[in-house]
Amino acid sequence: MTYRFIDTHCHFDFPPFTGNETASLARAASAGVEKIIVPAISAGRFSTVLSLASRHPTVYAALGLHPMYIEQHHDDALPALERLLAQQPEKVVAVGETGLDAYRETPDLPKQIAMLEAQFALAKRWQLPVILHSRRTHDKLAMLLRRASLPKTGVVHGFSGSFEQAIRFVELGYYIGVGGTITYPRAAKTRKAIARLPLDALVLETDAPDMPLNGWQGQPNRPERVAMIFDILCQLRSEYPEEIAEAVWKNTCALFPLVAQTT
């Protein structure tokens, strides 16, 4: 049986999709992926992401400044984001990808935090959810989210932490992005967390072309593989697949209302 899916996080503005968008969307659709959300990572990607959303009915955009590329975010990046959001472009469903990343040798967390809080302010002003990246920063991010008190909350994407870390986000009203991490048997901590979390807190994603699934290492990830992530999710959860599929669809539409309006 083929279920309906929304890939809530796919970098469709990068190879191998560039120049092959129509065929790639057809491949995704054949696996049940009806919609894709494409988060920008820098100001230089805004126009590309917006163009994809305008040209393809099943593609939606998010605009944000990714913490891993902090050096690329020059003084004009935040004003550029603010100007675009003020125009309220059609099919922009979130601010993101933003967040925190302490994985690198020189993360410059003070600058990351300042940029994240500025994007929180924009999300609050324009009543948009946030798409959040978090590596080795779950506790700090949860603290900042509590302080920000965003009206539309968001999703902690590509989650790979513990149940205790995840439930802290859920208690703040945030969703957990379920991706390729759960396809790895060695990721026991995250698999147990995803198995225990409330079903109404989960959304599906691929992070394509990144975050390859187990068995596909070394190859670009693709949006149609959200169906494989779903299969593993069903193995980890106690509910019936039909119930899980319906719940994650409804969760996504609740978080991203514009996607629901065009269902």
Tell me the pLDDT band of 263, cut-offs 50, 70 and 90.
low
Q: Which residues are annotated as a binding site?
A: 9, 11, 97, 133, 157, 207
Residue 7 pLDDT > 70:
yes
Residue 166 pLDDT > 70:
yes
φ, ψ dihedrals at 8, nearest 5°: -80, 0
φ, ψ dihedrals at 10, nearest 5°: -140, 125
User: Do 100 and 112 meet the contact criterion of CB atoms below 8 Å apart?
Assistant: yes
Residue with the larger pLDDT of the pair 154 and 72: 154
Would you state the pLDDT for residue 259?
85
Would you state the pLDDT for residue 106?
76
Residue with tokens 């126009």: 47
Would you state the pLDDT for residue 104?
78
The identity of residue 211, as a single letter, is M
Q: Name which of 60-69, 104-113, 232-241 the model is least confident about.
A: 104-113
Residue 2 pLDDT > 90:
no
Q: Which residues are annotated as a binding site for a divalent metal cation?
A: 9, 11, 97, 133, 157, 207
Number of domains in the chain: 1
Positive or negative torsion for Cα 73, 78, 79, 80: positive
Query: Which tens digits make up the pLDDT trace of 231-262?
Result: 999 999 999 999 999 999 999 999 999 888 76
Residue 1 pLDDT > 90:
no
Q: What is the mean pLDDT of residues 31-55?
A: 97
Residue with tokens 């790895």: 184
**Would the pTM count as exceeding 0.75?**
yes
Q: What is the CATH number of the domain that holds 145?
A: 3.20.20.140
Q: With CA atoms as reference, report the closest residue to 116 among 137, 91, 88.
A: 137
Q: Name which of 5-14, 58-67, 98-107, 127-136 the model is least confident about.
A: 98-107
Q: To which H or E segment does residue 9 belong? A: none
Range of the domain at 166: 5-261
| Start-to-end CA span in the chain (Å) | 20
